[in-house]
C-alpha cells in the first residue's frame, strides 16, 4: 500500500483520525469557502490551502476534515492532494524556498543556486532545515517552472518572487530568513510566512491593503509593450468580413 493511501485502507482507520486541530474558526472559514461555489466539491483546492494554513502541510487529519466538509470520500481528497505539488505531505518550514530549475533558469544559473542552497542547508528536495514551523526553518524545493523566464534565474519564498538571482544573492537571502528576517521580494507585497501565504491562497486576506501593495510588474516583462508604443507598432485588425473556419461537427 502506497504512503498516500495508508490511512484510508479501512473505514476503522479513517474514523480513528482526529480532526480536532481544526477549531470552530477554521470550520466557519471552510463553510465560507464552500459557499463560493455552486458545487461544494469545487471548493477542494482552496480547502486544502486552508488546511495547510493551520498545520503547515496536508495531513491525514486535514484530508478527513476536507472530506467531511465537502461530503467526499477521503480517497477522493487524497487523489487530489497527492497530485498537486503545492500540497505538502510533510510539515513545511516557516518559509518555502522554491528554486526554478527549468531550462531557462537552469542555463542561467538555477542549478547552481539550488546546489548552493542545498549544501548550505544540508537538505534535498522538499526537505526542511530546522524544526518545521519554527522561526528560521526552511523547506527547499526545486520548481519545474516559475513562469518568469524574462527574469531568470528566479526563486520564490512562499510564492513571492526574487528575480535575477545569483548563488551568492540566494545564499544571503536564505541566511537572512534563517535569522528571522524577511527580505523584501523583488516584486509584490511584503513577505509573509508559508502558513500566511497558504491562508491567502485559501482566499482570506486579513490585511488586504498590505497584501496588494507593491507592483507585480517588471521592466523586462513590459519591454515588448514599451517598444511597440515607442515605435508605433500595432497588431493588424481583423476585417469585419473575415471568413472564419467552420465549427467542427460534434460526433
5 CA to centre of own chain:
23
Q: Any known ligand binding at 92?
A: no
The four Cα atoms 246, 247, 248, 251 give a dihedral, to 10 degrees, of -140
The whole-angstrom separation of Cα 23 and Cα 20 is: 6
Q: Kindly give, in sequence order, each residue whose CB lies less than 8 Å from that of residue 2, ignoring residues fewer than 6 positions away.
A: none
Q: Any known ligand binding at 66?
A: no
Q: Kindly give, in sequence order, each residue whose CB lies less than 8 Å from that of residue 206, ignoring residues fewer than 6 positions away.
A: 199
Q: Any known ligand binding at 145?
A: yes
CA atoms within 13 A on the CB side of 104: 14
| 126 Rama sector, left if φ>0, alpha if ψ -120 to 50, beta otherwise | left
Q: Any known ligand binding at 105?
A: yes
Nearest to 191 by CA among 35, 152, 200: 200
CB atoms near residue 66 (< 10 Å): 28
- In the annotated binding site for [2Fe-2S] cluster, the residues are 100, 105, 145, 149
- In the annotated binding site, the residues are 100, 105, 145, 149
Amino acid at each position: 500500500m502506497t504512503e498516500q493511501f495508508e490511512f484510508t485502507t479501512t473505514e476503522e482507520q479513517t474514523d480513528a483520525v482526529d480532526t480536532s486541530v481544526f477549531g470552530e474558526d477554521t470550520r466557519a472559514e471552510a463553510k465560507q469557502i464552500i459557499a463560493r461555489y455552486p458545487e461544494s466539491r469545487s471548493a477542494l483546492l482552496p480547502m486544502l490551502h486552508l488546511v495547510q494554513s493551520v498545520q503547515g502541510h496536508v495531513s491525514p487529519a486535514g484530508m478527513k476534515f476536507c472530506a467531511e466538509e465537502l461530503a467526499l470520500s477521503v480517497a477522493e481528497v487524497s487523489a487530489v492532494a497527492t497530485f498537486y505539488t503545492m500540497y505538502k505531505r510533510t510539515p513545511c518550514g516557516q518559509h518555502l524556498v522554491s528554486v526554478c530549475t527549468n531550462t531557462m533558469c537552469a542555463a542561467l544559473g538555477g542549478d547552481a543556486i539550488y546546489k548552493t542552497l542545498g549544501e548550505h542547508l544540508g537538505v534535498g528536495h522538499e526537505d526542511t532545515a530546522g524544526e518545521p514551523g519554527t522561526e528560521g526553518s526552511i523547506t527547499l524545493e526545486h520548481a519545474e517552472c516559475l513562469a518568469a523566464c524574462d527574469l531568470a534565474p528566479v526563486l520564490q519564498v512562499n510564492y513571492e518572487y526574487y528575480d535575477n538571482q545569483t548563488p551568492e544573492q540566494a545564499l544571503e537571502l536564505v541566511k537572512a530568513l534563517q535569522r528571522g528576517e524577511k527580505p523584501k521580494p523583488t516584486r509584490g507585497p511584503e513577505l509573509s510566512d508559508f502558513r500566511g501565504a497558504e491562508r491567502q491562497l485559501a482566499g482570506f486576506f486579513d490585511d488586504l491593503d498590505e497584501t496588494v501593495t507593491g507592483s507585480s510588474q517588471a521592466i523586462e516583462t513590459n519591454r515588448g509593450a514599451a517598444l511597440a508604443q515607442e515605435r508605433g507598432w500595432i497588431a493588424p485588425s481583423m476585417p469585419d468580413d473575415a471568413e472564419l473556419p467552420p465549427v467542427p461537427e460534434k460526433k
